[in-house]
Structure 1
Amino acid sequence: MKKNVLIIGAGGVAQVAAFKVAMHNDVLGDIHIASRTLSKCQAIVAGILEKRALKRPGILAAHQLDAMDVEATKALIRQTKSQIVINVGSAFLNMSVLRACMDTGAAYIDTAIHEDPEKVCEPPPWYGNYEWKHREECERKGVTAVLGAGFDPGVVNAYAALAARHYFDRVDSIDIIDVNAGNHGRYFATNFDPEINFREFTGTVWSWQQGQWTANKMFEVQRTDDLPVVGSRTTYLTGHDEVHSLSANLDVPDIRFWMGFGEHYINVFTVLNKLGLLSEKPVVTAEGIEVVPLKVVKAVLPDPMSLAPDYTGKTFIGDLVKGMRDGVETELLVYNISDHEAAYAETNSQAISYTAGVPAAAAAILIAKGEWDCHRMANVEELPAVPFLDLLGRMGLPTRVRDADGDRAFDPAEFREPRGKAARVGGVS
C-alpha cells in the first residue's frame, strides 16, 4: 500500500486536490504541496487548516520547487518519502515530473497531456508524442503512471469505458460534451490558466471520425443538445486530450469533444487571436523589449482562482454514447452536474477546478488501496471504471445515467459485470 502524497502545483485544481487528499489523509498519509511560488502553497495549507479539512492530525507542508528541475523534484520526493505524486501544475511540467517519478519509483498522476511551449495543437496522437514513449520503461520498472485523471480527460474516459464494457455490444460514437453554465461576473476571464486555455483553441481542431483523424477549424462545427439541468446548449467541436487515448484504446469509429462557449467569449477570443495577441511566439516592442503576446494577455486577465468567490451556476460534463445493445440501436448519456457555489464552500475553488481536482485525489486513493496500482502507464479508460465512479460519487462528483429507462443516479451494482469480450478495453475487465 502506497502512502504520502506530493502535490505539484498551486492553482485552483491543486487546491481542490489538496483539500480532498486532506479529507482522506487516513488513507493517503503525509501531504506536501510544492510549486515555484511558496506563498501560494502556504495559502492552500492555511485554507485547509482553517476549514479543518484534515480527517486526522498529520503532516501538511508547503515547499518551493521548480518542477522543471528533475533532480530537485527527485530530491523532494525522497525527502518527503512521497510514494504518490499528483502533478496538477502546468502541462509543460509533465515530462519532467514523470521522469522524476520513474527514477524514484513514485506513482505518477496527471490531468492533461504534456505540452511543448514552442508547439500548439501538434499532429495527433498527442499522447504518442510524449507520455506513451515511456510506457515500456514504466512497465519495466513497475512504476504506476495514471495519465489524464481529471474530469476531461479522466472521468469522461471512465464514462466511455463504462459504456463499452458494461452497456453496449458495439459502440458507434462517443460525443463528450462540456458546458459551463455558470457566471463569474467579470467582463472576460478564463476558468483555468489562460495560457493553456487559449492554446487549446488557436490551432487545428482534431477529432476521430470514421476511424481516422479529421481536421477542422475552431468554431467551424457546432451542435445543440437538450441537456439535464443546464437545458438547451450549443457546443463547438474542439480538439481535446481524451480523444487521443480513447481513439487508440476503444474500437469506436467516431469520438468527438464538444465545448460550450458564449457569444461574448467567442467575440473576445476572435479579436485577440486576429490581433496576434494569443501567439506563443516572442515579438519585440518599439523599446526593444522581447515579450510573448500570450503571456502578456495572461498577465492582464484575472487570476482564475480569484473568480471562485463570485461564481454562480452549474457545470455539465458527460458522454453521449450511441451503439447497439441486444440488436437494438441504443443511446446512453452518462454525466455529472456540479455547482460553483457548493465547490467554493467546500474547497475555496470554483466548479471547473473542483471537477478536475477531485478525480486526481480519487486516483491517488485507488492507487494507495491497490485497485489502480497497475505498475505500468495507463490512461483512465484502461483501468476499472466502476470503483472510480463509485468513489467519486462519495467524494462530491456523483454520476448520473440517462437512457430509455429514464434518468437515475449511477448504481455500481447495475454495472458489475462486463457484457462480453467485445466490450473489453485495454485488457482490463
Structure 2
Amino acid sequence: MKRNVLIIGAGGVAKVVAHKCAQHNDELGQIAIASRSVDKCQAIIESVKAKESLKVPAEIKAYALNALDIEATKSLIRETDSQIVINVGSAFLNMSVLRACMETGAAYLDTAIHEEPGKICETPPWYGNYEWNHLAECQEKGVTAILGAGFDPGVVNAWAALAAERHFDQIDSIDILDVNAGSHGKYFATNFDPEINFREFTGQVWSWQNSQWTSNTMFEVKRTDDLPVVGKQNLYLTGHDEVHSLSKNLNVPNIRFWMSFGEHYINVFTVLKNLGLLSEQPVKTAEGLEVVPLKVVKAVLPDPASLAPGYTGKTCIGDLIKGTRDGQERELLIYNVADHEDAYAETDSQGISYTAGVPPVAAARLIVSGEWDAKRMVNVEELPAAPFLTLLDQMGLPTRIKDANGDRPWDQLA
C-alpha cells in the first residue's frame, strides 16, 4: 500500500490539494509541499492549520525545490519517503517530475498536459508528443502514472467513461462544457496561471470531429447553452487536454471542448493578442533587455490565488453526451456545480482552484486503497469511474445527471 504525499507547487490549486490531503491524512500519511518559494509553501501550511483541516495530528513540512532538477526532485521524494507525488506546479514541470517518479517508483499524478515554453497548441494527439512516450517504461517498472487527474481533464474523462459503460451502446458526440459564472471584481484576471491560460487560446484550436483532427481559431465557433443553476451561457470551441486522450481511448467520432467567455474578456484578450503581448517568443526592448511578452503580461495581472476573497457565483462543468441505447437516440448531461464562496470558506481558495484541486486527492486516495494503483501510465478514462465519482461526492464535488427522466445524482436510477 502506497502512503505519504509530496505536493509539488504552491499556487491556488496546490492550496486546495493540501487542505484535502490534510482532511484525509489518516489514509494518505505524511504530507510535504515543495516549490521554488518555500514561503508560499509555508503560507499554505498556515492556511491548513488555521482551518484545522488535519484529520489526525501531524506536521506538514515545506521545502524549496526547483522541480526541473530531476536529481533534486528524486532526492526530496526519498527524503520525505513519499510514495505518491501530486504535481500541481506549472505544466512545464511534468516531464521532469514524471522522470523523478519513474526512477524512484513513486506514483505520479498531474492535472494538465505537459508544455514546452517555446511551443503552443501542439500537433495532436498532444500526449503522444511527451507523456505517452513513456508508456512502456512505466509498464515495465510497474510505476503508476495517472495523467490529467484534475477536473477538466480528469472528472470529465471519468464522466465520459461512465456514460460509455452505463448509459450508451454507442456515443456519437461528447461536448465538454466549462462555465464559470462567477465574479472576482477585477478589471481583468485569469482564474489560473495566466501564462498557461493564454497559451491555450493563442494558437490553433484542435477538436476531434468525424474521427479526425479539426483545426479552428479561438472564438471562431460559438454556441449557447441553458445549463443548470448558471442559466444561458455563450461558449466557444477551445482546444483542451482531454480531447487528446478521449479521442484515442473511447470510440467516439466527435469530441469537443467549449469554454464560456464574456465580451469583456474577449475584447481584452484580442487587444493583447493583436499587440503581440501574448507571444511566448522573446523580444528585445530599446534598452537591449530580452523579455517574453507573455511573461510580462503574467507579471502585471493579479495572482489567481489572490482572487479567492470576495469571489462570488457558481461554476458549471459538464459533459453533454449524445448517442444511442437499445436502438433509441439518447442525450444526457453529466455535470457538477461548484460555488466560489463555499470553496473559500473551506480552503481559502476560489472555485476554479477547488474543482481542479479536489480530484487529484481523490485519485491519491484510490491509489492508497489499490483501486487506482494501476502500475502503468493511464488517463483517467482508463480507470474505474464509479469509485472516483463516489469519493468526489463525499469530498465536495457531487456529480449529477440530467436527461429525459429528470435531474438526479449520478448513481440514482432513473
TM-score by length of 1: 0.96
> What is the CA-CA distance between 1:13 and the residue it aligns to?
0.5
Partner of 1:197: 197
Aligned residue identity for 2:98: L
The aligned runs of 1:43-192 (5 Å cut-off) are 43-192=43-192
Alpha-carbon shift at residue 410 of structure 1 (Å): 2.0
Give the drift of 1:328: 0.5
**Structure 1: which amino acid aligns with 2:369?**
K
* Cα distance in 1, alignment partners of residues 257 and 282 from structure 2: 31
Is the partner of 1:34 in helix, strand or coil? strand
Helix, strand or coil for the counterpart of 2:309? helix
Q: Taking every aligned residue pair, what percent have the same amino acid on both sides?
A: 74
Q: How many Å apart are 1:404 and its aligned residue?
A: 1.0
Match of 1:401 in 2: 401
- Encode CA deviations 1:152-183: one digit per residue, 9 max, x unaligned: 00000000000001110000000000000000
Residue 254 of structure 1 is matched in structure 2 by 254
Q: In structure 2, how many angstroms separate the alpha carbons of the residues matched to 1:18 and 1:145?
A: 20
For 1:321 and 1:292, the matched residues in 2 are separated by 40
3-state SS in 2 of match to 1:310 = coil
The gaps in structure 2 that reach 5 residues or longer are: none
1:368 and 1:96 map into 2 onto residues whose CA distance is 23
CA distance in 2, matches of 1:216, 1:377: 30
Corresponding residue for 2:13? 13
Task: Provide the C-alpha distance between the structure 1 equivalents of 2:344 and 2:387, rounded to a whole number of angstroms.
Answer: 26
| Paired AA for residue 303 in structure 1 | D
The amino acid across from 1:226 in the alignment is D
> Hey, what's the Cα distance between the residues in 2 that align with 1:375 and 1:138?
7
Shift of 1:409: 1.5
| Partner AA of 2:203 in structure 1 | G
The 2-side partners of 1:408 and 1:43 are apart by 39
The separation in 1 between residues aligned to 2:18 and 2:302, in whole angstroms, is 22
Match in the other structure for 1:357: 357
2:302 counterpart letter in structure 1: P
Q: CA deviation at 1:414?
A: 4.5
Q: Which residue of 1 aligns with 2:22?
A: 22
- 1:65-116: CA deviations, max 9, x gaps? 0000000000000000000000000000000000000000000000000000
* Pairing 1:382–2:375 present: no
CA distance in 2, matches of 1:380, 1:414: 24
Residue type of the partner of 1:197? N
Find the counterpart in structure 1 of residue 34 from structure 2: 34
The match for 1:423 is: none
Q: Which amino acid aligns with 2:306?
A: S
Once the two structures are superposed, residues 33-59 of structure 1 have per-residue CA deviations (whole angstroms, 9 ceiling, x without a partner) of: 000001000000000011110000123
Q: How does 1:329-348 map to 2 (within 5 A)?
A: 329-348=329-348
Deviation string 1:184-233 (CA, Å, 9 cap, x unpaired) is 00000000000000000000000000000000010000101110000011
Query: Which amino acid in 1 is paired with 2:84?
Result: I
**One-letter code of the match for 2:209?**
Q
Counterpart-to-counterpart distance in 2, 1:222 and 1:109: 33
In structure 1, what is the Cα distance between the partners aligned to 2:194 and 2:112? Answer: 15
SS of equivalent residue, structure 2 residue 256: strand
Letter in 2 for 1:350: Q
1:26 shift after superposition: 0.2
Aligned residues: 414
* Secondary structure of the structure 2 residue equivalent to 1:234: strand
Hey, what's the Cα distance between the residues in 2 that align with 1:261 and 1:298? Answer: 19
Q: Any unmatched runs of 5+ in structure 1?
A: 416-429
The separation in 2 between residues aligned to 1:65 and 1:20, in whole angstroms, is 22
CA distances 1:2-59 after superposition (whole Å, capped 9, x unpaired)? 1000000000000001100000000000000000001000000000011110000123
Task: Supply the distance in 2 between the matched residues of 1:118 and 1:279 (Cα, whole angstroms).
Answer: 10
Large movers: runs of 4+ above 4 Å: none
Q: Distance in 1 between matches of 2:404 and 2:413?
A: 15
* Pairwise CA RMSD: 0.8
